[in-house]
Amino acid sequence: MRIVAPVLVALVATLLAACGGGTRSQQDTGGGADAGFATGEIDRDATIRYAGTAPPTSFDPMTSQSELDMPWLAPAYDRLTAVDEAGAPVPQLATRWELSPDGKALTLQLRQGVTYSDGTPFDAASVKANLDRYRTSEKSRLKNDILMITGVDVADASTVTIRVTGSGGALLNVLASRVGMMVSPAAFANPDLDQKPVGAGAMVLTGVRPKTEYVFTRRADYWDPEAFRYKTLVFSVNDGSSVVNLLRTDALDYARLAGPAALEAEAAGIRLYRAHSISGARILLNPTRSKLGSKEVRQAISLAIDRDATSQVAFNGDCVKTVQPFPEGYFAHSATVDAEREEWGYTRNVAKAKELLARAGLPEGFEMDMLVPGVPTTQTRAVLFQQNLAEIGITVNLRVVDVIQARVLFGQGEGDSYAGDGASYTDPSVFAAQHYLTGGSSNPGNLTDPELTALIDQAAGPLDINARTALYDHVFARAFELGPVHVYLCHHALPLGYQNDVVGLDRFDGAAGSDVLRGAAKVRTT
């Protein structure tokens, strides 16, 4: 379906005219009435009301469609590990670990005294059951994330050893993603597990209005008193404009804001906190469709997109422009790609883009479609992309579809391209599997080569972060030599609008905001 969207086109033009200056840095915590967080006694009986822009695709991690489900899943499902701001693994359900000298076995010591929400004990046998399910189930969408696992052995109730091909250094970070989310084995056969989570996390889903509101209640026996320091979580689905109104009228406690919503919140004096993130705005391309099989064409598209305007129009400047998947400061950020960023459109270059199209035998351009999730800010962004690409002769037909279905359709090979937000995942090995290997959900055209595959295998080996930084530099350098299927535009530094009594938002919020709810709390005001 081609969109003729004069209202959106006008909005893009208005926002571009109104937005001056460059992209905000991730460290900027100004804006609105921000004066830091309140102090006082934590209200353990409080209700936290938080809003997201899209409902979860599934409450079963195994069938979840995207890492962007992580904020919805994390209250119910603890993970084996978590990651800090630099991407280093830290304990969660696994308290200690050791990699064998040959790198082929990772042994985890597990937290004791933990239970799943249905009362089933959390132990090594349940960890094995979960990992085996993720590896072998026909319904699993996580198989590619853990291809390196060849088996799981139970030594005793609190010790499990994961055997791998190659080396297991990447596993600790992988286990901080959906793969590390522990589901009660007693619930594996539940026909409604995708709607009613049963995990080892702090919260139990106790009320649902599908695609609208999800109510979680904290478990009294949860092991970590410093996480989820409130009694009830009301997680609702709201778009940007309604979120600002809800914050203004004290009907929400905090929420992520973007673009016009952030501008409106600032004008209303709502307190803002700008959080770090490894997620970002991107376009995905299918090289088996339209004229996208040529590296020159994919590079031309990257050169033609205006990253500064993307940040301003869609994110009010709260998106740090980039051409690569991981932000500066994260261990997988590539210095080699950074040095070549102008070749990929860090600064927009229409003339170079046209030159590349001509070199590809397409001096008059071509036509392609773009799947767009039905979220207002994403649609606005897509209209900007449509305008940018028209300048180099590429006609883009926008197909706005359901927010969940857009990503699914692209993964099934039913679209030339996809515009939306994407998580870069807790570990680059997962990102690489999804984008650079055959069968990856973000690589329906199966673009790869033996050299890239070998580099990905090698980079997954060491535990040492510095060693992995050097290895992933080679991975991303090779991916860009081939012309990647992704066009990264900017990394989110989106503000959280929050009420005066909300605290704890300054904790790192993990992959795709997975821990944005874990650190929050409210202080007593009377």
pLDDT the model gives residue 24: 33
pLDDT the model gives residue 405: 87
Query: Residue 409 sits in which domain range?
Result: 277-492
pLDDT of 461-490, one tens digit each? Answer: 888 888 999 999 999 999 999 999 999 999
Asked if residue 317 is part of any domain, the answer here is yes
| Same domain assignment for residues 111 and 155 | yes
CATH number of the domain residue 453 falls in = 3.10.105.10
Report helix, strand or coil for 321. Answer: strand
pLDDT the model gives residue 474: 98
Which of 30-39, 49-58, 414-423 comes out lowest in average pLDDT? 30-39
pLDDT the model gives residue 87: 79
pLDDT the model gives residue 84: 82
- The dihedrals phi and psi of 138, each to the nearest 5 degrees, come to -65, -25
pTM listed for this prediction: 0.77
| Same domain assignment for residues 303 and 414 | yes
Asked if residue 366 is part of any domain, the answer here is yes
Closest C-alpha among 328, 346, 345, 341 to residue 277: 328
| Same domain assignment for residues 84 and 152 | yes
Q: Which residues pair with 313 in a beta bridge?
A: none
CATH number of the domain residue 252 falls in = 3.40.190.10
Looking at per-residue pLDDT, the higher value among 376 and 290 belongs to 290
To which H or E segment does residue 246 belong?
helix 240-248
pLDDT of 112-150, one tens digit each? Answer: 999 999 999 999 999 999 999 999 999 999 988 888 899
Residue 7 has pLDDT above 50, yes or no: no
Asked if residue 476 is part of any domain, the answer here is yes
Q: Of 251-260, 358-367, 422-431, where does the model show the most confidence?
A: 358-367
Question: CA–CA separation, 174 vs 428, rounded Å?
Answer: 8
Asked if residue 264 is part of any domain, the answer here is yes
Identify the burial level of 458 via C-beta atoms within 10 angstroms of its C-beta, where 0-12 means exposed, 13-18 middle and 19 or more buried: middle
pLDDT the model gives residue 525: 79
Q: Across all residues in the chain, what is the average pLDDT?
A: 89
pLDDT of 248-300, one tens digit each? Answer: 999 999 998 877 788 888 889 999 988 767 888 999 999 999 999 999 999 99
The radius of gyration of the chain from alpha carbons, rounded to an integer in Å, stands at: 22
pLDDT the model gives residue 510: 64
| Same domain assignment for residues 227 and 283 | no
Provide mean pLDDT across the span 2-25. 42
Final residue of a domain: which of 122, 153, 185? 185
pLDDT the model gives residue 31: 40
User: Based on the structure, what is the number of domains in the chain?
Assistant: 3
| Same domain assignment for residues 370 and 229 | no
Question: CA–CA separation, 295 vs 249, rounded Å?
Answer: 50
Q: pLDDT-based confidence at 83, cuts 50/70/90?
A: confident
Residue type, 227: A
pLDDT the model gives residue 508: 63
| Same domain assignment for residues 378 and 468 | yes
pLDDT the model gives residue 330: 87
Provide mean pLDDT across the span 491-514. 80
Looking at per-residue pLDDT, the higher value among 29 and 166 belongs to 166
| Same domain assignment for residues 115 and 158 | yes
